[in-house]
A and B are shown apart, each in its own frame.
Chain A
Amino acid sequence: MSTTVDPDRTIDVVGVAYHRPRLSHMQKRNLWGFLFTLPALCFFLVFAIIPIARTFYLSFFTFSVVEKPVFAGWENYRALLDDQRFHASLVNSFAYVFMTYIPVAIIALALALALNVRLRAVGFFRTLYFIPVVMSWVVVSAIWKMIFNRQGLMNAFFLEPFGIAPKNWLTDQDWAPRAIVIMSVWKEVGFFMVVFLAGLQQIPSDYYEAARVDGASGWQLFRSITMPLLRPTLLFVSVIGMITGLQVFVPQWVMTQGGPVTATLVMSLNIYQTAFVFLKGGTAAAMSVVLFLIIGSVTLVQFWLNRLGAND
């Protein structure tokens, strides 16, 4: 048994004294920092790392939510090569990302530029554009489902007044994906507008003043000062847009359930149906791994491109 005689000296059972190493201020700070982050790390380990690792593991098995796994090797991955629904969902996911988040970025940047001024009502407009962001995707999707109905507002306001025959947007293979894109752009613009606003407000006004003294035009200010200094924000927007877009699930599930045919079947929805409707958990796990790798790869490429651009 040990007896502590002072905070730094300990006598062990045979009476030999030794000194416990004294922690430096930095080490103590790091230790406390680690201890404070430990709960979050445990949470992350339990709810992110372990499930991800288990998904990798299960992708090599055949199982369903109601059956035990049986080892299948690479079979689940091989099956994906011939799976037309999987191919369709991949294409649809990327189409959704590009059709949604490129317009979102452009509109959000334009709004941020417009609202990055000192006007009395600017707070009102910022709030107005942000309202869709705080609404639930499920609620928004259910509302827009009615808007896109044949008797809905979309036809009444935008087609019928111009003599265009009303359409049932969500049962048309060509228009259903576009309908979801329109809704998503409306929903997402506010968030990215706020991100761009934050980025714009980080740019020192001195740069603009100096450039104006030198006679720079508005376009030159935007091209030579705003855009280069917004590069980190643009990277953030592109990465978040890509990740969010590739993981999209709710609007497709609520509005079209992936149809008509497979026009709005995105990867997350396909994974969900494969696991819980078709009861093919191993295939769904393999799809999840592929989605994970795609998102990881695309994100790395975006960082790499951004670094290349920064070095130019």
Chain B
Amino acid sequence: MTNRGAGPRTGGHRVDRRTLAKGAIGAAATAALATSLPVAPAAAQDKTVIKFWTHTHPPMVELNKALVADFMAANPDIEVQYEIIPNNEFATKMLASMGTGTGPDIINMDDAQMRSTYIPKGLVQEVDPANMGYGSLDDLKAAYIPTALEGSTVDGKVYGVPSEFNVTAMAVNDAAFTEVGLDPKAPPADWTAVTEQGAKLVVKDGDTFTRRGFDFTYLHAGWYHNLFGTLLLQTGGRVVAEDGTTVTVAEAPSVEALHIWYDLIWKEPKIADPTVANQDATVPYQDFLDGKVAMMPFNPWGMGLITSDSVVADTWSIAPLPQKHPGSAGTPEATPVSADGAGPVTPLYAYYWSVNALTTDEKKKAAAFKFIGYISSFPGRWLKESSFIQPKTGWEDSEEAKELPFFEVWSSEMLKGQFLPVTPAGEQVDTLMKSALEQSLLSGEDPQEALDGVKPQIEAAIASS
């Protein structure tokens, strides 16, 4: 019996240097041969692989996964690699990947970034109606309501179709209203009423709010952009004037907008408190869901986050967003939106599916447009399964729309909607604005001083952009 384990000491085969070298060469050759062999059947090699990235939002992610699987089953020649990026990192990672040529083939980005960065810098491709299943660009445009494509249109060219189209309203904790003797069916229509009703809704444990009357969210720069932008629309303020160079952030209408927010936190009766607010952008409405805030600005997709586990599971409703000029609430058609804010106005924002213009492989581009055409062809499912409004023409007449909770409020708010203006150096300006807003809202600096302080920084950012 051979002692295999004993080696040279027992007289077994001795491994000399030459044998070792032969073995190494043999192993290297085998490895090289192995790596050169096809690793997949020929059919798999012919697949066009496209990358698709989105931010995190559980109901959206689930539906994306389902639609990706369905699409690949229907198109065996295309493989869609779906990746989810944490919300806080999404914008940065997306841009960094674009710069290094490793970005996704399908970009899912919000209108502000589309208009301020992706379209001007040529990062997204003009839509390809034919590959998306439309006869022409006019057919594609006709498939959507008129404002739907505004967030992805520059100089008449369309660069994406909406994956979600959002309007802002207000979520109301009905149980809290009833508890303090308020009528949840008559929520505040203006900011004065918000403060009055909010004061009654506040619950404290010592000095600590356990339920705020009304509050905004305090998350990343994009959230501040949208929320402060909401107030700017109402007061007629702007961070930067329409000329794109004059910084108007410290002028009276903008200061007034910040005062609306600031007063809720710092002026008696205090009804908001950022120090107890949720800090996790993945669950931005968690405080409302947990009953820690009685009223807060809310978007349609937020309804997808309310589950049976939520404290407010059966006791919430959606009301129109409080206004500086409420006008004739409920009949928005009678109170047309004006640019100076003299009327009710709510912000619109949207995310768009677009194709990476830096993708050089035309097959990938075609596959990407085909996928977008497919995934955007289920507005009913998007509405039902993730509360995402995809504003195709006549969407409001669909069965799913009628089943959308508080459909009447959402659709009436949409009629007051405007996209927020974008500024040059948008990301930098948003980051600077976040700091200024935090300086005022979190630290109590007077709004005028906080905005005076950020003005030269914004001027410098724009000058160097």
Binding site for B on A (CB under 8 A): 64-67, 79, 82-85, 149-150, 165-168, 170-173, 257, 259-262, 272-273, 276-280, 283
B270 at the interface (CB under 8 A from A): no
Beyond A85-B432, A171-B274, 11 additional pairs, beta carbon < 8 A: A65-B99, A66-B358, A83-B460, A85-B457, A150-B275, A257-B220, A260-B443, A261-B439, A273-B92, A279-B121, A280-B465
Taking CB atoms, residues of chain B closer than 8 Å to A66 are: 95, 98-99, 121, 123, 358
Instruction: Report Cα–Cα, A74/B195, bound state, in Å.
Output: 52
Q: Pick out which of these stretches binds chain A: B141-149, B253-261, B423-431.
A: B423-431
Question: Quick check: A273 and B431 within 8 Å, CB to CB?
Answer: yes
The chain A residue with its CB closest to the CB of B99 is A65
Measured between C-beta atoms, what is the minimum distance from A302 to chain B in Å? 33
Task: Give 25 A-B contacts (CB < 8 Å), ordered by A residue.
Answer: A64-B121, A65-B98, A65-B99, A66-B99, A79-B460, A79-B464, A85-B432, A85-B435, A167-B275, A168-B279, A170-B279, A171-B277, A172-B275, A172-B442, A257-B220, A260-B442, A261-B438, A261-B439, A273-B92, A276-B95, A277-B91, A278-B428, A278-B461, A279-B427, A283-B464
Question: Quick check: A171 and B275 within 8 Å, CB to CB?
Answer: yes
B135 at the interface (CB under 8 A from A): no
A-B interface, 6 closest residue pairs, ranked by CB to CB distance from nearest: A65-B99, A278-B428, A168-B275, A276-B96, A260-B438, A261-B435
Question: Quick check: A259 and B460 within 8 Å, CB to CB?
Answer: no
Instruction: Report Cα–Cα, A261/B433, bound state, in Å.
Output: 9
Measured between C-beta atoms, what is the minimum distance from B59 to chain A in Å? 24
- Please tell me the number of chain B residues within 8 Å of chain A, measured between CB atoms: 39
Kindly identify which residue among A149, A173, A273, A277 contacts B443, using a CB–CB cutoff of 8 Å: A173
Measured between C-beta atoms, what is the minimum distance from A276 to chain B in Å? 5
Taking CB atoms, residues of chain B closer than 8 Å to A260 are: 438, 442-443
Query: Given A83-B460, A173-B443, A278-B425, are A166 and B208 neighbors across the interface (CB < 8 Å)?
Result: yes
Instruction: Report Cα–Cα, A66/B102, bound state, in Å.
Output: 12
Measured between C-beta atoms, what is the minimum distance from B285 to chain A in Å? 17
B206 at the interface (CB under 8 A from A): yes
Taking CB atoms, residues of chain A closer than 8 Å to B392 are: none
Most interface-central of B95, B358, B465 (chain A CB within 10 A): B95
Taking CB atoms, residues of chain B closer than 8 Å to A173 are: 442-443
Contact pattern, B 120-137, Cβ under 8 Å of A = 1, otherwise 0: 010100000000000000
Question: Quick check: B95 and A65 within 8 Å, CB to CB?
Answer: yes
The chain B residue with its CB closest to the CB of A166 is B208
Binding site for A on B (CB under 8 A): 88, 91-92, 95-96, 98-100, 117, 121, 123, 206-208, 218, 220, 274-277, 279, 358, 425, 427-428, 431-432, 434-436, 438-439, 442-443, 457, 460-461, 464-465
Instruction: Report Cα–Cα, A125/B22, bound state, in Å.
Output: 50
Instruction: Report Cα–Cα, A149/B280, bound state, in Å.
Output: 11
Question: Quick check: B206 and A165 within 8 Å, CB to CB?
Answer: yes
Taking CB atoms, residues of chain B closer than 8 Å to A279 are: 95, 117, 121, 427
Question: Quick check: A261 and B442 within 8 Å, CB to CB?
Answer: yes
Measured between C-beta atoms, what is the minimum distance from B159 to chain A in Å? 15
Measured between C-beta atoms, what is the minimum distance from A2 to chain B in Å? 27
Question: Quick check: A171 and B98 within 8 Å, CB to CB?
Answer: no
Taking CB atoms, residues of chain B closer than 8 Å to A259 are: 434-435, 438
The chain B residue with its CB closest to the CB of A62 is B464
Query: Given A257-B88, A262-B435, are A65 and B96 neighbors across the interface (CB < 8 Å)?
Result: yes
Taking CB atoms, residues of chain B closer than 8 Å to A168 are: 275-276, 279
Measured between C-beta atoms, what is the minimum distance from A54 to chain B in Å? 14
Instruction: Report Cα–Cα, A66/B119, bound state, in Å.
Output: 12
Question: Quick check: A84 and B443 within 8 Å, CB to CB?
Answer: no
The chain A residue with its CB closest to the CB of B118 is A66
Instruction: Report Cα–Cα, A167/B207, bound state, in Å.
Output: 11
Taking CB atoms, residues of chain B closer than 8 Å to A67 are: 121
Taking CB atoms, residues of chain A closer than 8 Å to B442 are: 171-173, 260-261
Question: Quick check: A64 and B443 within 8 Å, CB to CB?
Answer: no
Taking CB atoms, residues of chain A closer than 8 Å to B88 are: 257
Question: Quick check: A64 and B275 within 8 Å, CB to CB?
Answer: no
Query: Given A84-B457, A278-B461, are A171 and B427 neighbors across the interface (CB < 8 Å)?
Result: no
Instruction: Report Cα–Cα, A82/B162, bound state, in Å.
Output: 40
Measured between C-beta atoms, what is the minimum distance from B239 to chain A in Å? 15
The chain A residue with its CB closest to the CB of B98 is A66
Instruction: Report Cα–Cα, A283/B461, bound state, in Å.
Output: 11
Instruction: Report Cα–Cα, A85/B432, bound state, in Å.
Output: 9
Question: Quick check: B428 and A165 within 8 Å, CB to CB?
Answer: no
Instruction: Report Cα–Cα, A167/B274, bound state, in Å.
Output: 11
Instruction: Report Cα–Cα, A171/B435, bound state, in Å.
Output: 12
Question: Quick check: A276 and B464 within 8 Å, CB to CB?
Answer: no
Taking CB atoms, residues of chain A closer than 8 Å to B121 are: 64, 66-67, 279
Instruction: Report Cα–Cα, A167/B276, bound state, in Å.
Output: 8
Question: Quick check: B443 and A261 within 8 Å, CB to CB?
Answer: yes
Question: Quick check: A277 and B431 within 8 Å, CB to CB?
Answer: yes
Measured between C-beta atoms, what is the minimum distance from A183 to chain B in Å? 16
Instruction: Report Cα–Cα, A67/B277, bound state, in Å.
Output: 39
Instruction: Report Cα–Cα, A85/B274, bound state, in Å.
Output: 23
Instruction: Report Cα–Cα, A259/B276, bound state, in Å.
Output: 16
The chain B residue with its CB closest to the CB of A169 is B275
Taking CB atoms, residues of chain B closer than 8 Å to A276 are: 92, 95-96, 99
Taking CB atoms, residues of chain B closer than 8 Å to A272 are: 92
Taking CB atoms, residues of chain A closer than 8 Å to B206 are: 165
Question: Quick check: A165 and B92 within 8 Å, CB to CB?
Answer: no
Query: Given A165-B208, A171-B442, are A64 and B464 neighbors across the interface (CB < 8 Å)?
Result: no
